[in-house]
Structure 1
Amino acid sequence: MVLKFLTVHSLAQNSSLAAQDICARLRRYTEQAPSLLLVYFTQAHDGAILREELKRQFPVTRLLGCSSCGGVMTEMGHHARQGYGLAVAALYDERGAYGIAGARGEHVDVRQLLRRAMSDCGRPGELPQLILLHTSPGQEEGLLAGIEAELGASVPVVGGSAADNGVSGEWQLCWDDEVSSDGIVLAVLYPECQLAFQFHSGYVPAEHSGEITACSGREVLTIDHQPAAEVYARWCGRDHPWSAGAILRETTLTPLARQVGMLDGIPYYKLSHPEAVTEQGGLRLFTDVVQGERLLLMYSSQEGLLQRSLNAIRIEPTYGVDAELQPIGALIIFCAGCRLALGEMLCQFVEQSQARLGKIPFITPFTFGEQGRLPHGELAHGNLMVSSVIFLTS
């Protein structure tokens, strides 16, 4: 049987009813149990209840879930009503294999998780075609380093950090046998089809840049030996810095970035979204930084953000994709900050994606950090980015 990729959604304002609704909709397509369920939901839902009901009805199906900011998007549009939204992608693939592993806490051995996931689907030691990663915000770089150490640079990674509606820590992860607000869940995929990957930002560099001269973890203390918040405000054209506190919404169209490499003579970047101004005049970001790195100011408009985000759903034959293959479904992980910046223009993403890929099913959570491989294979965690995988068959 050729792999099938289906999406369904529910606006029910009760987690048990929403999960039952999802199961009923899937059974209208087929009585067969899915091989894998990708479950994305808003913070109003209880991930434990969703997981319990979905596993009750599909006990042998592998399940991975992650909360999403403000809603979830599919080819049918953006799904949220009074804070509730649930969407599921179901993969049916008798010849493929799908393994899941998850763990709670900050100090997770991701290498051990990878081995567990590969053993979970009967493929121990076999490199997967894709790793799908969801984690609570804050530990992404270390986890990616662990994946690189275990499997090398050849395995594609697509990922997104769990989100809520207000950076209040109410994000959730769930998998076959557990739910957590702090941890990691990953899937290893061996589908009976080809995959195409993209990892893009919707921004271009402005004229300002400076060196990180002091930092601590994810907080930039000084740029060029001056308070980071003052420098950044000046770059953004403000007369005075923001007061201490959250600045996430105000900075979505003017993030910071570090150049990672060059492709065909054009530089490419890893973005960092300023989350807050700290009491000491620093900038807290959603990515780790290192003293001595050079930060650049980036910018975009709503229209520019939309058009450049759509680059993440194109299929590139030059990347080794067979031109005869046809897309049958896609997972598009989209930054929550970009979603908020687009506002009402978000609906155009659905319309224009269909113009590019046809009316195939896709699912899109809105995350607080995105993971993927950059053009020369660098495994990276960035902000305000789009990380995608397109499933293709003949």
Structure 2
Amino acid sequence: MLKVKTGASVNTNAAAAGKEAALQVKENAADMKMAFVYSGVQYDQKELLAAIAAELPGVPLIGNTSFTGVITQDGFISGEDGFVGIMAMSDEALKVGVAGMAKEGTARETGKKVAEMALKNAGTDAAPDYFYMTAPPGEEEFYLKGITEVIGRVPFFGGSAADNAIAGEWLLYTDQMVTADGLGVAFFYTDKPFANKYTGAYGETDKMGIITKVAQNRTLQEIDGIPALEKYRQWTGASKEQVTEGNLLAYSITNPLGVKDRMGDLIAIRHPMNGNADDSINVGNNLAVGTAVILMEGSVDGLISSVGKTLEDLKGRMNGEIGGLHLVHCGGRRAGIDNRIDEVTAQVKKAVGDIPFIMEFTFGEYGYEDDGCNTCGGLMLSFTAFGK
């Protein structure tokens, strides 16, 4: 039977915080197969991880820095000098292969190497039942391509490392490494149920156009032959000041863009992040010329209520009792929610009761929908349930 336990600390000392959080999950250490770890950029991550590993010897760790905090059953956990949250998974029948490394060569080449390492660490050459991925913002889709080369299309979940100020201070890690630019994965082998709900939970408007020019995968230059920022302003009615440079990042939290998958089952959100002087838009994920982009709409109330609705959808997908939940919540959405973050905790508890969970806040979210391919997006929720 799967046993999931969470722990947390806001101790100002990284090592002390790691020890405090680890002690809270230690009771199931005998069958503990892995633990997710999410922390604040304020800590020395190597000291933090060493302290956790000392309390949980031999347990593979994986995770990344999270935007401003984490949420567990105990509520929103944050501290000016740092924070850490742990979710440990124990099950004698569970097998997990964890691996990670700093980027070597291209992101795709690194993805392939890490996948091969994870198979070796799991002691098998068989593809996992599902897997978790953490990467820095920027090349997530290419890391994923490398992994897929090795194991094929396997359901996945996860998110991109974040910091507190979009300053490039994010880190991702395992118990064996810490890096700002690289990849970490956990391959899961189990006969227990698994489900993921991946959504932006925004409303679709009737304003859409064809992408006609893109630079370097993530700079949207033209929609319908019109400069992208000009088109975005036409669609939203935004002033020039509201979408100039970094102002666009906050403005677009409730007015992002979306791209549909080939079957229309999923709208992957594309977060407009910077309005450039040439009227192009820096976007948080890859785009392709010749595809349609849609203006989406939402509200802060909707960002909050979507957490409960998404969890209800997730519960409906599970064939069996849920043992634990891993909840990836976009950091941009969290910034839009701001001081109403406790309402998010209330949404989770109302939907799932006493089921143990951890929620991290990321700068990119990963998941899939129905029979579609694994996808990376922004301003999204990727909620995962593990069968008991």
Asked whether the equivalents of residues 134 and 160 of structure 1 are also in contact (C-alpha less than 8 Å), the reply is: yes
Offset at 1:70?
0.8
Confirm or deny that 1:384 pairs with 2:385.
Answer: no
Offset at 1:336?
0.5
Confirm or deny that 1:68 pairs with 2:69.
Answer: no
Structure 2 residue matching 1:35: 3-state secondary structure = strand
Q: In structure 1, what is the equivalent of residue 261 of structure 2?
A: 260
Confirm or deny that 1:116 pairs with 2:117.
Answer: yes
Confirm or deny that 1:326 pairs with 2:321.
Answer: yes
Q: In structure 1, what is the equivalent of residue 270 of structure 2?
A: 272
What's the C-alpha RMSD, in Å, of the aligned pairs? Answer: 2.0
Q: In structure 2, what is the equivalent of residue 97 of structure 1?
A: 95
* Pairs within 5 Å for 1:117-136: 117-122=118-123, 124-136=124-136
Offset at 1:381?
0.6
Asked whether the equivalents of residues 114 and 147 of structure 2 are also in contact (C-alpha less than 8 Å), the reply is: no
Q: In structure 1, what is the equivalent of residue 231 of structure 2?
A: 231
Q: In structure 1, what is the equivalent of residue 193 of structure 2?
A: 194
Structure 2 residue matching 1:221: 3-state secondary structure = strand
* Pairs within 5 Å for 1:344-363: 344-363=339-358
TM-score with structure 2 setting the length: 0.93
One-letter amino acid of the counterpart of residue 49, structure 1: E
CA deviation profile, 1:252-303 (whole Å, cap 9, x unmatched) = 010001121446xxx5311100111123221001101112221111011122
Offset at 1:352?
2.5
Report the Cα distance in structure 2 between the residues aligned to 1:203 and 1:115, rounded to whole angstroms: 37
Offset at 1:363?
0.4
Q: In structure 1, what is the equivalent of residue 137 of structure 2?
A: 137
Asked whether the equivalents of residues 15 and 50 of structure 1 are also in contact (C-alpha less than 8 Å), the reply is: yes
One-letter amino acid of the counterpart of residue 328, structure 1: G
One-letter amino acid of the counterpart of residue 148, structure 1: T
Report the Cα distance in structure 1 between the residues aligned to 2:349 and 2:245, rounded to whole angstroms: 42
Asked whether the equivalents of residues 135 and 161 of structure 1 are also in contact (C-alpha less than 8 Å), the reply is: yes
Q: In structure 2, what is the equivalent of residue 55 of structure 1?
A: 53
Q: In structure 1, what is the equivalent of residue 152 of structure 2?
A: 152
Q: In structure 1, what is the equivalent of residue 286 of structure 2?
A: 288
Q: In structure 2, what is the equivalent of residue 302 of structure 1?
A: 300
One-letter amino acid of the counterpart of residue 135, structure 2: T
Offset at 1:10?
0.2
Report the Cα distance in structure 2 between the residues aligned to 1:120 and 1:31, rounded to whole angstroms: 19
Report the Cα distance in structure 2 between the residues aligned to 1:201 and 1:46, rounded to whole angstroms: 33
One-letter amino acid of the counterpart of residue 22, structure 1: A
Offset at 1:138?
0.7
One-letter amino acid of the counterpart of residue 177, structure 1: Q
Offset at 1:247?
2.5
TM-score with structure 1 setting the length: 0.91
One-letter amino acid of the counterpart of residue 302, structure 1: V
Larger mean Cα displacement after TM superposition, 81-90 or 304-313 = 304-313
Offset at 1:315?
5.5
Report the Cα distance in structure 1 between the residues aligned to 2:277 and 2:314, rounded to whole angstroms: 46
CA deviation profile, 1:332-363 (whole Å, cap 9, x unmatched) = 11111111112233322222222222211100
Structure 2 counterpart of 1:343, from 338, 341, 346: 338
Segments of structure 2 that go 5 or more residues without pairing to the other structure are none
Residues 246, 100 of structure 1: CA spacing in aligned structure 2 closer, same or farther, 3 A cutoff?
farther
Offset at 1:305?
2.1
Q: In structure 1, what is the equivalent of residue 183 of structure 2?
A: 184
Residues 314, 146 of structure 1: CA spacing in aligned structure 2 closer, same or farther, 3 A cutoff?
farther
